[in-house]
Amino acid sequence: MLIVVAALTKQYGNQLAVNEVSFTCDKGEIVGFLGPNGAGKSTTMKIITGYIPATSGKAEVCGFDVAQQAAEVKKRIGYLPEHNPLYLDMYVREHLEFAGKLYGLKGALLQSRVDEMMNRCGLEREQHKKIGALSKGYRQRVGLAQALIHNPPVLILDEPTTGLDPNQITEIRQLILSTAQDKTVILSTHIMQEVQAICHRAIIINLGEIVADAPVSELTANASLEDVFRRLTQV
């Protein structure tokens, strides 16, 4: 298993944001991580990526403990947070070169990875533009290219298509599918059609606890995913 989460808990004062969450993800899986606002999705993803610590429990990525071996974990994760953090004054190619260098890439290997990400993410025509001049769709492409620059085995995407138009959503979904064949992908979203379109499995979290974890085909065997989600997340 590339991701193992066991009894993960995060508490902020009296608020229990994540309550003993456990799941695993294997290579080649695209897992939809669903839940209402405030359910604990982003908190769980931030713990897995090492962005914030857990209160208790454990998370491992590629066999490395997130709390004890954070540097090794970060080498193996590509992370696109909900609010895509980009340097708007940088040019697209410059930004990707900078990101690659942070992961220790240099010389011919760095340029090869940048060229590959430009091609895969459809950024060739935009590479000499400043990121601040790009549309939101192209900024998401840059964010995905940055997350993939070091060819990580695990990709964690928090609301990657939020605010995009229908054409951009389709393009980003296809991009995720094309890059996920040899990776593990956790994708958080509020769009049920997105889960049905690209995810093999769905994990539904509500009030910090997992209320469903099953293949999408199984969850939708007798009802729509929207109906299943609504039933499981009613308070």
pLDDT tens by residue, 20-51: 999 999 998 999 999 998 899 999 999 999 99
Q: What is the mean pLDDT of the chain?
A: 92
Same domain? For 114 and 168 the reply is: no
Highest mean pLDDT among 25-29, 179-183, 210-214: 210-214
Same domain? For 1 and 26 the reply is: yes
Domain span at residue 96 reads 86-151
81 in a structural domain: no
Residue 189: pLDDT over 70? yes
Model confidence at 182, in pLDDT bands (50, 70, 90)?
Answer: confident
Same domain? For 68 and 104 the reply is: no
Same domain? For 235 and 158 the reply is: yes
Question: Rounded to whole angstroms, what are the CA distances from 167 to 32, 124, 146, 149, 174?
Answer: 21, 19, 21, 24, 11
Same domain? For 90 and 142 the reply is: yes
Residue 15: pLDDT over 80? yes
Q: What is the pLDDT of residues 91-124, one digit of tens each?
A: 999 999 999 999 999 999 999 999 999 998 889 9
Model confidence at 171, in pLDDT bands (50, 70, 90)?
Answer: confident
Same domain? For 167 and 234 the reply is: yes
Looking at residue 147, what is its pLDDT?
94
At a CB cut-off of 8 Å and minimum separation 6, what does 103 contact? 75, 149, 150
Residue 155: pLDDT over 80? yes
Same domain? For 105 and 196 the reply is: no
Same domain? For 91 and 68 the reply is: no
Residue 170: pLDDT over 90? no
Looking at residue 159, what is its pLDDT?
87
CATH number of the domain enclosing 215: 3.40.50.300
The structural domain count of the chain equals 2
Q: Where is the domain boundary, 132, 151, 170?
A: 151
Model confidence at 235, in pLDDT bands (50, 70, 90)?
Answer: low
Same domain? For 90 and 58 the reply is: no
Residue 59: pLDDT over 90? yes
230 in a structural domain: yes
160 in a structural domain: yes
Residue 163: pLDDT over 80? no
68 in a structural domain: yes
Q: Where is the domain boundary, 120, 151, 182?
A: 151
Same domain? For 158 and 132 the reply is: no
Same domain? For 185 and 217 the reply is: yes
228 in a structural domain: yes
Tell me the C-alpha distance between 56 and 165, whole Å: 39
2 in a structural domain: yes
Q: Which residue has the higher pLDDT, 172 or 200?
A: 200
Tell me the C-alpha distance between 2 and 121, whole Å: 24
Q: Where is the domain boundary, 98, 124, 151?
A: 151
Tell me the C-alpha distance between 83 and 139, whole Å: 11
93 in a structural domain: yes
Looking at residue 148, what is its pLDDT?
93
DSSP-derived secondary structure for 61-86: ETTEETTT-HHHHHHTEEEE-SS---
Same domain? For 70 and 164 the reply is: yes
Q: Which residue has the higher pLDDT, 151 or 164?
A: 151
